[in-house]
């Protein structure tokens, strides 16, 4: 019994082993391909990226500066004569025109002075008439040898003295007339007036009494209006080279176009011209003061407001433009990723220019037909394959 039992265990073990081998063979046959070879894992597809050719457009490069709007003319209204203020003929902050009556200083003292001066003229005129008669009589007597030469000379001297007195009296009349005129203060220019600094009934001191007469108010002109700004020395040199090369006209000839906008404005709605450059560069800041002149016909811009101004830095030329999102930086180098016909990513070093209407100008390193990756830069590895998908670059820099 023991030997028989051992032989049966050997046979059952062999059968189990054969069955396991057969099952493994069947599984291997099921997993094999048509040729019976083992299947391999397929490579992942090339990642998609959005590409577009650069925008090609005729542009002008601009330099931008912060600036402040300033009145062309600003006048402090101060009296020329002293007296008590009796009338105010404007509303604080209103628009006034040249010749409009603003203030009246009590004119009665000046009217009295004018009357006195006029009376002096009448008296001096009578003296001249009397001196003329006496001179005429003495001259006739001298011709008949009834008067001496000395008497004739005295009459001549009296005549000249009377004439001088008359001229002095006339000058006094003109001075009194001016004082009376100065008691009525008018606007010297068109513009917006400030608030009155002195109320009716106060004594104001004129310039004939003190070197610092009373300040009554101020007026600033509004149309046209200036923008003052500071230009860097580098921009000044570039501007001078352009003028010397005949590409731009001198500011003193009024040939440089300037554009400006307020803080809440888009675009550059205000058109003007650069009309002034200072005569030296500031040694501390390395900048030069410049000025542009703009129309302000609707009187919307107020002197003292801040704004931005731009000046042309080049002639009109064709340029390639890309959004900033399509440009990467490698240390100090600027790179764009392009996609070849075979889907391979090729980086290109580019030279960039200013931002124009939301797009960055590419001055060198790029061809108009290059397909540039404008979206999906993280998936675009140099030398790797990608799946390009056509995109569009919009004027505001969006893709």
Reported as a single tens digit per residue, the pLDDT across 258-282 is 999 999 888 899 999 988 889 899 9
Question: What pLDDT was estimated at residue 399?
Answer: 53
Could you tell me if 57 and 321 are in contact, meaning their C-beta atoms sit under 8 angstroms apart? yes
**Residue 131 burial by Cβ neighbours in a 10 Å radius (0-12, 13-18, 19+):** buried
Sequence-distant (≥ 6) Cβ neighbours of residue 29 within 8 angstroms = 36
Output DSSP code: residue 246: T
pLDDT over threshold 50, residue 36: no
pLDDT at 40: 59
Domain ranges in the chain?
50-57+317-390, 81-106+184-215, 108-182, 225-312
Instruction: Output the pLDDT for position 156.
Output: 86
C-beta of residue 343 within 8 angstroms of C-beta of residue 386: yes
Highest mean pLDDT, choosing among 98-107, 249-258, 343-352: 98-107
Q: Specify which residues 186 forms β-bridges with.
A: 101
Q: Which CATH architecture has domain 108-182?
A: Orthogonal Bundle (1.10)
For range 309-318, the mean pLDDT: 84
Contacts of 330-338 with C-beta under 8 Å, sequence gap 24+, read: 336/362, 336/365, 336/366, 336/370, 336/372, 336/373, 337/372, 337/373, 337/377, 337/380, 337/382, 338/370, 338/371, 338/372, 338/373
Q: Report whether CATH 2.40.10.10 matches the domain 81-106+184-215.
A: no
Which residue(s) pair with 56 in the sheet? Answer: 320
Structure confidence at residue 239 as a pLDDT band (50, 70, 90): confident
Residue 280 pLDDT: 92
pLDDT at 1 over 50: no
pLDDT digits (tens, 9 = 90+) for 287-305: 999 999 999 999 999 999 9
Strands 387-390 and 48-52: parallel
Q: Does the pLDDT of residue 220 top 60, yes or no?
A: yes
Residue 317 pLDDT > 90 = no
Per the DSSP assignment, residues forming a β-bridge with 292 are: 227, 274
In the predicted model, is pLDDT for residue 26 greater than 70?
no
Instruction: Scan for tokens 């009024």, then name that residue.
Output: 254
* 3 has a pLDDT exceeding 70: no
Mean pLDDT of all residues belonging to the chain: 84
Average pLDDT over residues 200-219: 89
The set of residues, in sequence order, having a beta carbon less than 8 Å from that of 239 and lying 6+ positions away, is 231, 248, 256, 311
User: pLDDT confidence of 185, banded at 50, 70, 90?
Assistant: very high
Predicted confidence (pLDDT) at residue 257 exceeds the cutoff of 50: yes
**In whole angstroms, what is the distance from residue 113 CA to residue 398 CA?**
78
pLDDT digits (tens, 9 = 90+) for 127-167: 989 888 887 888 778 777 777 878 877 888 888 888 999 99
Between 363 and 70, residue with greater pLDDT: 70
Paired residues of 68 in beta bridges: 228, 306
Q: Measured at the alpha carbon of residue 95, what is the angle toward residues 92 and 100, in degrees to the nearest 5?
A: 90
CATH class of 225-312: mainly beta
Name the nearest CA neighbour of 372 among 334, 345, 332, 351: 345
Higher pLDDT: 253 or 105? It is 105
Rounded Cα distance, 288 and 398, in Å:
36
Position with higher pLDDT, 9 vs 387: 387
Nearest to 82 by CA among 102, 110, 101, 115: 110
Residue 7 confidence class, pLDDT cut points 50, 70, 90: low
Query: Rounded to the nearest 5°, which phi and psi values hold at 315?
Result: -80, 170
- How distant, in Å, are the alpha carbons of 83, 171, 261 from that of 190? 26, 32, 24
pLDDT higher for 285 or 143?
A: 285
Distance CA 386, CA 367 (A): 20
pLDDT category at 8 given cuts 50, 70, 90 is: low
**Which CATH architecture describes the domain 50-57+317-390?**
Beta Barrel (2.40)
- The pLDDT assigned to 63 comes to 87
pTM over 0.85: no
Distance CA 231, CA 311 (A): 10
Q: Which residue has the tokens 């040199």?
A: 237
Say if 81-106+184-215 and 225-312 have the same CATH topology: no
Q: Is pLDDT above 50 for 189? A: yes
């Amino acid at each position: 019994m023991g030997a028989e039992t051992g032989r049966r265990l050997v046979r059952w073990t062999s059968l189990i082993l054969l069955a396991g081998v057969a099952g493994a063979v069947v599984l291997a046959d099921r997993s094999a391909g048509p040729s019976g070879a083992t299947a391999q894992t397929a490579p992942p597809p090339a990642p998609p990226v959005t590409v577009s050719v650069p925008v090609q457009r005729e542009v002008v490069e601009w330099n931008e500066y912060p600036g402040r709007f300033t009145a062309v003319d600003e006048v402090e209204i101060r009296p020329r004569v002293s007296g008590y203020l009796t009338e105010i003929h404007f509303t604080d902050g209103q628009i006034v025109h040249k010749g409009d009556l603003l203030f009246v200083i009590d004119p009665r003292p000046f009217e009295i002075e004018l009357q006195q001066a006029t009376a002096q003229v009448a008296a001096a005129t009578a003296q001249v008439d009397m001196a003329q008669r006496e001179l005429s009589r003495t001259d006739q007597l001298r011709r008949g040898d009834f008067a001496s030469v000395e008497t004739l000379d005295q009459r001549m001297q009296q005549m000249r003295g009377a004439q001088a007195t008359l001229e002095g009296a006339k000058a006094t009349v003109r001075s009194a007339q001016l004082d009376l005129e100065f008691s009525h203060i008018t606007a010297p220019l068109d513009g917006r007036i400030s608030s009155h600094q002195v109320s009716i009934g106060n004594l104001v001191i004129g310039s004939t009494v003190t070197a610092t007469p009373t300040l009554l108010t101020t007026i600033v002109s509004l149309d046209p209006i200036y923008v003052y700004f500071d230009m860097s020395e580098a921009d000044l040199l570039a501007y001078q080279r352009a003028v010397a090369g005949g590409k731009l006209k001198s500011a003193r000839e009024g040939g440089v176009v300037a554009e400006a906008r307020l803080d809440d404005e888009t675009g550059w709605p205000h058109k003007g011209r650069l009309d002034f450059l200072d005569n030296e560069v500031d040694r501390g800041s390395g900048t030069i003061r410049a000025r542009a002149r703009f129309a302000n016909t609707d009187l919307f811009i107020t002197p003292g407001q801040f704004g931005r101004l731009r000046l042309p830095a080049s002639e009109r030329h064709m340029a390639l433009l890309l959004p900033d999102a399509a440009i990467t930086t490698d240390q100090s180098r600027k790179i764009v990723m392009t996609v070849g016909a075979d889907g391979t990513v090729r980086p290109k070093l580019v030279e960039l220019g200013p931002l124009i209407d939301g797009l960055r100008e590419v001055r060198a390193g790029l061809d108009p037909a290059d397909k540039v990756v404008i979206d999906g830069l993280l998936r675009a590895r140099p030398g790797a394959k990608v799946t390009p998908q056509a995109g569009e670059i919009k004027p505001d820099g969006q893709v």
